[in-house]
């Protein structure tokens, strides 16, 4: 295990957790996903996955608005989804090697949509399982959250399209 990468992973995890707590009262605005994505982009598959799972475990378990420990299935879904976003960060490195800034922003925004769909899809179906909903209630729950999901998709697409290209420019200097 590389000590330098481990320290960088700890910094990314701490940043994701801190940003999560900082923006937790602002609906549909979160920087956890993009931070975890950047960790995978920077540190690679293993560390990106580790950062995603660890950051979400700590953030969700210690959230004062409602601990994820109450709904273990939801917590596991959140951890797996964020670990997947870290994994997607490492895989996306090859797609973001674009010289055109506009094209890079569009690709990054599209990746942000995919990451958000992954997270929202997993959590939309793991919460009802945790709460004991049947299939009809789960579908109703998913439909009732479509506006929230849409707003989360839009905000993360914008965040990814702004943050990821800027980050890539900074690390390439």
Structural domains of the chain ordered from first start: 3-172 (1.10.1760.20)
Q: Which are the contacts of 101, defined by CB distance < 8 A and separation ≥ 6?
A: 165
Note the pLDDT tens digit of each residue in 63-115: 988 888 888 999 999 999 999 999 999 999 888 988 899 999 999 999 999 99
Q: Which are the contacts of 126, defined by CB distance < 8 A and separation ≥ 6?
A: 71, 73, 74, 76, 77, 78
Q: What is the per-residue pLDDT for 46?
A: 96
Rounded Cα distance, 150 and 128, in Å:
19
Q: What is the mean pLDDT of the chain?
A: 94
Q: What is the per-residue pLDDT for 129?
A: 86
């Amino acid at each position: 295990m590389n000590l330098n990468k481990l320290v960088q992973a700890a910094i990314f995890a701490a940043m994701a957790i801190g940003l999560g707590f900082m923006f937790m009262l602002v609906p549909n605005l979160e920087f956890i996903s993009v931070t975890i994505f950047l960790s995978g982009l920077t540190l690679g598959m293993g560390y990106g996955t580790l950062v995603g799972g660890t950051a979400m475990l700590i953030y969700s378990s210690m959230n004062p608005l409602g601990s994820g420990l109450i709904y273990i299935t939801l917590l596991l879904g959140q951890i797996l989804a964020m670990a997947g976003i870290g994994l997607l960060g490492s895989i996306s490195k090859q797609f973001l090697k674009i010289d055109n800034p506009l094209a890079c922003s569009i690709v990054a925004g599209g990746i942000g949509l995919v990451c958000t769909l992954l997270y929202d899809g997993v959590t939309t179906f793991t919460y009802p399982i945790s709460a004991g909903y049947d299939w009809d209630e789960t579908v109703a729950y998913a439909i009732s959250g479509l506006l929230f999901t849409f707003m989360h998709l839009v905000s993360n697409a914008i965040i990814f399209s702004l943050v990821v290209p800027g980050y890539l420019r900074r690390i390439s200097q």
